[in-house]
Amino acid sequence: MTQAMAQPQFYLVWREGSHSNTPTFKHPNYGSAVAECKRLTRENGGKFYILAHVATAEKRDIDFTEVDQIPF
């Protein structure tokens, strides 16, 4: 297990049930995400959520084998 991060590295604004509006912008801080969340709610109605980046999983090793002779 790795050490927990001190604070989220970015935030996303998301609207449940809206498949066409997948979050694409990473807000660098909470204040930026709050402003965008309020703007989207004002313009669209409904309920928006602020999601915080709290963990990361990453596969780093890749096995790559080079063939000595090309078979054709």
d(CA 17, CA 15): 6
| 19 pLDDT higher than 90 | no
| pLDDT bucket at 71, cuts 50 / 70 / 90 | low
Q: Which residues pair with 50 in a beta bridge?
A: 13
**Can you give the residue ranges of every domain in the chain?**
11-52
Higher pLDDT, 50 or 60: 50
Token pair in block for residue 57: 């999983």
Higher pLDDT, 42 or 1: 42
| 18 pLDDT higher than 80 | no
* Mean local confidence (pLDDT), 3-18: 80
What's this model's pTM, rounded to 2 decimal places? 0.69
CB 11: neighbour CB atoms within 10 A?
23
